[in-house]
Structure 1
Amino acid sequence: MNLENIPSDQPVLIAGPTASGKSALALKIAQSGGGVIINADASQVYDCWRVVTARPSEADESCAPHALYGHHAYDATYSAGHWLREVTPLLAGPQRPIIVGGTGLYFLALTEGMAEIPPTPPQVRAEADTLTLDQLTQLLDARTAARIDMRNRARVQRAWEVLRATERPLADWQDETPAPVLPLDKCSALAVLPDKNSLEARIRQRFSRMIASGALDEARAMRSRYDPALPSCKAIGVPELMGFLDGRLTLDQAQEDASVATRQYAKRQRTWLRSRMGDWTKVDLSP
């Protein structure tokens, strides 16, 4: 795409599925027109996974300022609300914000506003943890179900917890959302949607690149602290690498399982982008 068409006086938002090239685009924009690259990916906030979650490399970070990457411990509690509170002051900083990531909920919270829902009591969360995804799904109202990815346990569980704790559906809270921090008409919003075949080719190569770049070393360093219930340990590639280290999977099996999980995740992200970000400028970075 022609970077000259992006106004230099507006924040830039770049959303896209995993392995779509959005981080490389953010770096190009920062190098050509200046700005600070800000993370909008839920997995990349944790300090334990640089390679596995494809966080910017140290070389990339030396080329442009970066923020909100790897700044929380592996077991820290983190949500869209935490992210919104952290990103808001950066919007008024001295450098143009270039916000990039694959967590669509973060972008919607930023550009459409976020409901002020009371914190979930620990006992409600503990109860939710004992239920299966099907059980959680069956208890949700139709309006809320239509607004979230019903195959994403974290999103479904959050909606169930809100209903259980407040006795009001998540959709009701969302309908009372305050004004957004950054409306779409005040920024350049880009949705990276590469050709499906090109994206799948990138995904097939992703795990091999991770291994070559030190993903196994990251997994070994986290092995004693690994907890599959933690959001940080649910990043694609982490369960598969732990399966290999535990002897349950060969490296080829781990690669195949990770590739399948990545393709499924990318498909959900593409669907989200097309359904929830219709007003964003579509960008195809396929060669």
Structure 2
Amino acid sequence: MKNSKRFATLAMLAMTVTLFLSGCMPQKMSSHPKVPTGFIYGSSYKYIAVPLQHIMERIADFFGGINGYGWAIIIITFVVRMILLPLMLNQSNKMTAQQEKTRRLKPQLDIVQAQQKVATTPEEKAELSQLMMKVYKENDSSMMPSLGCLTLLIQLPIFSGLYQAIQYSPEISSSHFFGIGLGQPNIIITIIATLFYVGQSALSLVGMPAEQKKQMQTTVLMSPAITFFISLFAPAGLALYFLAGGMIMIIQQMITTFIIMPRVKKRIDQEIKEKPIVTVVTKDMFTKKAAAKATETPVTPETTHTNKATMPSETGKRNSGKQRHKPQA
């Protein structure tokens, strides 16, 4: 649960940074704004957007006709996604294995988390954190989530450069793809692109336990929501990038859901059969500890005062002994 929230937060943060770096602001493409000259925007335009413009121009010339730039965006998206596909599938494999191991450790983790909620002192909280780390360590697992946002970070330069290529190129921004202007926002492409990501998110829930599926429902909606928000205000050419990417994401998710997940579960089952789960935490541990703590006599000012009043004075004993002792001549 925490790992999923962390991944969603990182994904949203990465998208926000992208929008900032690319200067993604709703504006009319027909105005042909001046190309950026600053260090960040200028460098991004010079070294990423301009090469992408040249690539799209060549692809558009190859296809010819008014739809050339639209096909160029789709082809660039396809090439980028195909290059990243092995890495994305490898990450899916690792994330699935980690989620499956965490699910097997959940009974012990729930006990520790329940105790963390009622812990009152820093010492108790630190001890429980160490105990949770021990649960993972003893079972050859990790508390750190797999870096699922790595592929997103890799795509950020392409995303930013593609936006600038469309925004600052009069030829691309004024082009059309089956009657849709690539330089202006378009609700049709926005809806289609969002639906593809909704489908990908729905596929990601297939085969999950009911409890985990319930926890993930909010998280999986983040990707479609981000796609819809950006595509709604961005030029249609950028939304077309999301649309083509969403189609490939569905294929990737189908591979993950119907091929990778069953293999990972089978492998984890075999590993647990050969090396059973190590029980580090039980409810009895905390029950006995609580009972022992309850039987301890609390030290209060009243009991301290009583003890002092009833306790013989050692100093008095020593003084009385000295008085009874006669010194020798």
TM-score by length of 1: 0.24
TM-score by length of 2: 0.22
Higher helix share: 2
Higher strand share: 1
